């Protein structure tokens, strides 16, 4: 039992074109990369697909899976909104992967060891496991970014980009949680869960690496 495929995507609400309104075209390249990453999962021979994103707690979500984009400006349902609302990361995962049947949140402040153990457990749930991993990079790349400019952000994001491109689980596992928190990195814990799930050698491809609006977004695929 092992991880055989993964897709890494960010989770800004603006991935939904209706939310972006007049600025929708600015993220067309990002949306196209996310579609390609999700197609990578759809084409893989997977027994179990798990959507993974950060939240305040580490919880395996129960069906029905979905919610609404009302908190971000439009009254649009995603998936099945009749159950407990998904956090933003998993809600965007449900938008990108309609019909997914397994949703797992990881606490944003989970320690690297806890993330590694969770990843190992997820990889052991089926013979061939796929992960859709949602997470943003630093939010401190420009003066207009949510966290304003921090000179450490670019180097941090470059480390993440290289690790995702090279399917370097060790580099992801070594990310500093304290620095990530200071840089408002939403993806640190989910990426470290991915690192824990990837026991064997994998091939990586980085499909997108940019920081529109001062927030770093990465799209990548991993395959065994």
pLDDT of residue 22: 65
Buried b (16+ CB within 10 A) or exposed e, 154-172: eebbebbbebbebbbbebb
Residue 194's CB is within 10 A of a number of other CB atoms, namely 30
- β-strands 128-134, 2-9 pairing: parallel
Nearest residue to 94 via CA among 130, 132, 62: 132
CA–chain centroid gap for 223, Å, is 16
Q: What angle do CA 175, 90, 104 make, to 5 degrees?
A: 70
Domain containing residue 80: CATH number: 3.40.830.10
- pLDDT, tens digit, for every residue of 54-76? 999 999 999 999 999 999 988 89
Cross-strand bridge partners of residue 6: 131, 222
* Number of folded domains that form the chain: 1
Classify 199 as helix, strand or coil.
coil
Nearest residue to 196 via CA among 111, 96, 136, 89: 111
As a whole number, mean pLDDT of residues 185-203 equals: 97
- pLDDT, tens digit, for every residue of 76-85? 999 999 989 9
Residue 149's CB is within 10 A of a number of other CB atoms, namely 13
Give the residue numbers spanning the domain of 77: 2-223
Q: What pTM was computed for the model? A: 0.97
pLDDT of residue 162: 98
Q: What is the DSSP letter of 25?
A: G
pLDDT of residue 35: 98
As a whole number, mean pLDDT of residues 155-181 equals: 98
pLDDT at 20 over 80: no
Residue 150's CB is within 10 A of a number of other CB atoms, namely 18
């Amino acid at each position: 039992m092992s991880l055989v495929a993964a897709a890494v995507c960010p989770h800004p609400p603006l991935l939904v074109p209706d939310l972006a309104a007049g600025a929708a075209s600015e993220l067309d390249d990002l949306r196209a990369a996310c579609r390609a990453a999700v197609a990578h999962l759809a084409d893989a021979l997977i027994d179990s697909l798990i959507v993974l994103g950060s939240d305040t707690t580490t919880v395996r979500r129960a069906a029905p899976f979905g919610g609404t984009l009302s908190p971000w400006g439009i009254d649009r349902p995603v998936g099945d909104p009749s159950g407990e609302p998904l956090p933003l990361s998993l809600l965007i995962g449900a938008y990108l992967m309609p019909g997914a049947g397994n949703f797992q949140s990881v606490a944003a402040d989970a320690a690297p060891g806890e993330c590694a153990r969770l990843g190992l457990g997820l990889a052991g749930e089926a013979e061939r496991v796929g992960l859709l991993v949602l997470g943003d990079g630093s939010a401190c790349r420009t003066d207009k970014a949510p966290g304003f400019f921090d000179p450490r952000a670019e180097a941090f994001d470059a480390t993440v980009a290289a690790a995702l491109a090279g399917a370097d689980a060790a580099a992801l596992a070594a990310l500093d949680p304290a620095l990530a928190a200071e840089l408002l990195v939403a993806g640190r814990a989910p990426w470290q869960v991915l690192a824990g799930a990837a026991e064997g050698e994998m091939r990586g491809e980085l499909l997108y690496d940019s920081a529109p609006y001062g927030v770093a977004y990465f799209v990548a695929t991993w395959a065994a």
